[in-house]
Amino acid sequence: MKKAIHSESQAILDRLELNLARVRSLVAIYESSLAGTGKGRRGHSKTDVLRAATVLLHASVEDCLRSLAYWKWPLASSEVLDNIPLTGAGKATRFSLGQLAAHRGASVNDVINKSVDGYLERSNYNNTTEVATFLESLGIDPARVNTWFPKIDELMKRRHQIVHRADQDETGGPGNHAVRSIGRVKVKDWITAADGFCKAVLSEVPR
C-alpha cells in the first residue's frame, strides 16, 4: 500500500520542483542562445548564466533543507533546541530570566517557533558535513542519502567559489582563462544530484 505524502512534505517537494525548473530554464537559455557551435572554451560573458544557475541550484537545496527545519524543529527534542538561541538573545544559546521576560504573554510554542524562525533566517549549509549534522537533527540517518554527497559537496564548493570569489581562477591566466571554466554537462550533473538528494531526504523524513 502506497504511503500518503504529508501535506508539508508535498509543499516542500512542489517548491523544489519549481526551483529546479528555474535552474533548468537558465541552462536552456545558455544552450539555445549562448553556447553556439564548434569546439573551444566559451567566454565568461556567456557562461555566467551557468554560474547563475549554479548559485540558484545551491539555493534550491538550501531552501529544501531549511523548509524541513521550519516544519520539524519546533517539535524537536531538547537536544536539538538547545542549539538554537532564544529569539532576541543574539547568538547565545543560554539566556537570562530577564531576556525571557520580553516574551511575557506568549506561549512556549510561540517562543520556540519564533526562535527557530529567527535562527533559520541566518542559517546556511556550506558542505555535506554540516548537512549530515542537520539531517541527524531531523532524525534522518545520513548514511541513507549520502550516495549523493560527493556531487552535492562539489556543487556547494563551486557555489562558494562563484559567490565569494567571482569564480576567478586563482592560478591566473589571460582572457577567458582568468575565470574558472564551467560547462552545461557539469551543471546538469549537479541538477540531477540536487534533485535526487532532496527527494531522497524527503522520503526519509519521520512522519
Give the tens place of pLDDT for each residue, 124-159. Answer: 788 999 999 989 988 999 999 999 999 999 999 999
Cβ distance 125 to 65 under 8 Å?
yes
d(CA 33, CA 91): 47
Amino acid (one-letter) located at 140: I
Entry pTM: 0.83
Q: Mean of the pLDDT values across residues 117-130? A: 80
pLDDT reported for residue 45: 84
pLDDT higher than threshold 50 for residue 194: yes
pLDDT higher than threshold 90 for residue 54: yes
End-to-end CA distance of the chain: 16
pLDDT higher than threshold 90 for residue 109: no
- pLDDT category, 162, cuts 50, 70, 90? very high
The CATH code of domain 7-76+126-204 reads 1.20.120
Alpha helices (H) in 94-183, listed in sequence order = 97-101, 108-121, 128-137, 149-165
Cβ distance 54 to 155 under 8 Å?
yes
- pLDDT category, 174, cuts 50, 70, 90? low
Q: At what angle do helices 128-137 and 44-72 cross, to 10 degrees?
A: 20
pLDDT higher than threshold 60 for residue 2: no
Backbone angles phi, psi at 43, to 5 degrees: -70, 155
pLDDT reported for residue 102: 67
Task: Of 47-51, 55-59, 66-70, 177-181, give the lowest mean pLDDT range.
Answer: 177-181
The percent of residues above 90 in pLDDT, for the chain, comes to: 52
pLDDT reported for residue 108: 64
Q: Mean of the pLDDT values across residues 40-51? A: 85
pLDDT higher than threshold 70 for residue 72: yes
pLDDT reported for residue 4: 44
pLDDT reported for residue 114: 76
